[in-house]
Structure 1
Amino acid sequence: MTGKDVPGLEEARDTIPPGTRINVTFLGNEDPRQRLAAARAVRRSGFVPVPHISARRLRSQAELAEFLGALRAVGATEEVFVVGGDPAVPHGPYDDSSAVLRSGLLQEYGVRHVGVSGYPEGHPAIADGVLWSAIEEKSQLLREQGLRGSVITQFGFDAEPVLTWVEALRERGVDLPVRVGVPGPAGVRRLLTYATRFGVGTSAGIAKKYGFSLTNLMGTAGPDRFLHTLAERYDPVRHGDLGVHFYTFGGLGATSDWVAARRPLYRTEPS
């Protein structure tokens, strides 16, 4: 959720299992007050807030410490998600999420679990070799600092490259739990907009496999087929600890209603 989604959270909370982790984004057009209000609302509603920390948006070490201190004051530092962020040029001393991990400030303010990003379909601005080195480094840093961690992947429309990527991740010795990014039900036009922004494949074949048409942008689509394929082809030996993370592109209410209606079909735990 974003800082502006508090009303949507309050409307959807009865359909979300208690203890569910809900990520709170770190958008450039929102201020710390909005982020804190969202984290506080998540906690108040009986869920676990997972605030994002955008490394390249931080202007100083003091700003990071101030943000973590404010999160701790509302009980929202046990779990965080650290990402490099969108700016091409860092606003301050943190070039990437590894720099935030190396700062030592996370543990100082009570962080116990850190989520990091994974990119099964690559990143439009970062070479694959750099991405692999980065996730290996972050896994090592978390282990050295005694922090629990997990990987949340970019969303996608094709389960095959996700499973292939997870298998490659395990072969590289990274054993962090992986939560596969899954778009909640949303309008096709909106889904394609986000896909273009994040470099996600949207060929006609992929769209058809997922369940929407590139010629009907007024329609909506949900991840039923994607999840079915993921569950069907999941191998605990090759893929390890695997779960899902829903991106609420169509809104918190639409996603939570969709999940609630289908929960009996899948083995789920609050996460």
Structure 2
Amino acid sequence: MALLNFKKREKPGATPVNGQVEALLKDYSIEVMPRTAEKVEDFRTLLPEGTRVYIAHIEGTPIDEMVATAKRIANEGYPVMPHFPARIIKDRATLADWIARYQGEAGVDQALVLAGGVVTPHGDYDSAIGLLESGEFDKAGFKRLHVAGHPEGNKDIDPDGSITNVSAALKWKQDFSERTDAKMAIATQFAFDAKPIIAWADSLKEAGIDLPIHIGIAGPAKLQTLIKFAIACGVGPSLKVLQKRAMDVSKLLLPYEPNDVIAELAAHKAANPDFNITNVHFFPLGGIKSNANWAIEHGGASTRPANPA
């Protein structure tokens, strides 16, 4: 059987793959939306076997489109993790219906449970805690539940810029993880500076929160695109990394790549094996293909059949 070799696809003349980066990129995940997934003819030409694919549920996206996207990606052989944004879920019956549809039509058994960025809740839920407390995921036998993390705070929850309420919510979720059979982890918002990420991760461990962290990283994109998304998503102090780059005329027109932040996190993890950041989660803001190719070139890859059964 012919093989597609995704292993260390380096550009001619490129610097050899950094082993520390390769180790950090192992088992990375990536996020898509129904409309962006439509642009990919076959994910098997881009993603290593076993790559977890999150499906972001934006307000206004019909559940039919979400389930169809999940089914299509699952049929191509990938574990799918759809978002369950609490503030757009009307009630418990709606939550149970979504879970049943994902499970029955696409074989989904994992979810990212989060509040969502909607200001006014559509119904009974305003936080991930409410969804988890419902017991519906446990009842359906979901094997993995991820929750949101915010290394630079979340102004929707802590308008004063602190991390008081965010930290309290994560402590509740840590306690919940000890009551559920599902594996849990924290998937974070993207940031651009490794130092505050490392400090935040260390602070969680000191607070007794030892859930694995899947750190959010923005994939390659035009600088203007990243700044727009960063402001819209409430990225904090690390936005200065992009602003500083925008002031450098020699870099202004070049696409941003996450080389520096990934390399620094990888070096820290190599020097601190018990570091609680275990995986990278990509936000492909400049396109799925460019993000997947960047990951392949930096060692985040494997060998898989060209036409898997």
1:29 paired with 2:60, answer yes
Letter in structure 2 aligned against 1:8: K
State the TM-score, normalizing by the size of structure 2. Answer: 0.80
Alpha-carbon RMSD: 2.3
Runs of 4 or more above 6 Å deviation: 266-270
Bigger-Rg structure (1/2): 2
Between structures 1 and 2, the one with greater helix share = 1
- Distance change (3 Å), C-alpha of 1:110 and 1:189: same
For residues 30-65 of structure 1, give each alpha carbon's deviation from its aligned partner in whole angstroms, at most 9, with x where no partner exists.
100110111111101111100100001111111111
Letter in structure 1 aligned against 2:291: T
Match of 1:176 in 2: 211
Structure with the bigger RCO (C-alpha within 8 Å, sep 6+) is 2
Contact 2:79 2:108 in 1 (8 A): no
How do residues 46-57 of structure 1 correspond to structure 2 at under 5 angstroms? 46-57=77-88
Structure 1: any 5+ residue segments left out of the alignment?
none
Q: How many residues align?
A: 266
Q: Look up the SS of the partner of 1:8 in the other structure.
A: coil
State the TM-score, normalizing by the size of structure 1. Answer: 0.90
Task: After TM superposition, give the deviation of residue 2 of structure 1 in Å.
Answer: 0.5
Q: Look up the SS of the partner of 2:54 in the other structure.
A: strand
How far apart are the structure 1 equivalents of 2:153 and 2:264?
Answer: 21
How far apart are the structure 1 equivalents of 2:239 and 2:173?
Answer: 35
Structure 2: any 5+ residue segments left out of the alignment?
1-31, 305-309
How far apart are the structure 1 equivalents of 2:102 and 2:226?
Answer: 31
Contact 1:55 1:84 in 2 (8 A): yes
Task: After TM superposition, give the deviation of residue 9 of structure 1 in Å.
Answer: 3.4
1:253 paired with 2:289, answer yes
How far apart are the structure 2 equivalents of 1:130 and 1:233?
Answer: 28
Match of 2:124 in 1: 93
- Distance change (3 Å), C-alpha of 1:269 and 1:123: farther
Q: After alignment, is 93-102 or 136-145 more displaced? A: 136-145
1:148 paired with 2:183, answer yes
Q: Look up the SS of the partner of 1:174 in the other structure.
A: coil
Letter in structure 2 aligned against 1:247: F
Task: After TM superposition, give the deviation of residue 203 of structure 1 in Å.
Answer: 6.8
Contact 1:156 1:181 in 2 (8 A): yes
1:242 paired with 2:275, answer no
Q: Look up the SS of the partner of 2:279 in the other structure.
A: strand
How far apart are the structure 1 equivalents of 2:206 and 2:138?
Answer: 29
- Distance change (3 Å), C-alpha of 1:141 and 1:187: same
Contact 1:12 1:253 in 2 (8 A): no
Match of 1:66 in 2: 97
Q: Which residue of 118, 133, 139 corresponds with 2:168?
A: 133
For residues 154-183 of structure 1, give each alpha carbon's deviation from its aligned partner in whole angstroms, at most 9, with x where no partner exists.
101101000100001111111111111111
Letter in structure 1 aligned against 2:137: L
How far apart are the structure 2 equivalents of 1:111 and 1:203?
Answer: 35
Q: Which residue of 107, 115, 119 corresponds with 2:138?
A: 107
How far apart are the structure 1 equivalents of 2:279 and 2:225?
Answer: 24
Contact 1:123 1:199 in 2 (8 A): yes
How far apart are the structure 2 equivalents of 1:268 and 1:160?
Answer: 29
Identity across aligned pairs (percent)? 26
- Distance change (3 Å), C-alpha of 1:7 and 1:198: closer
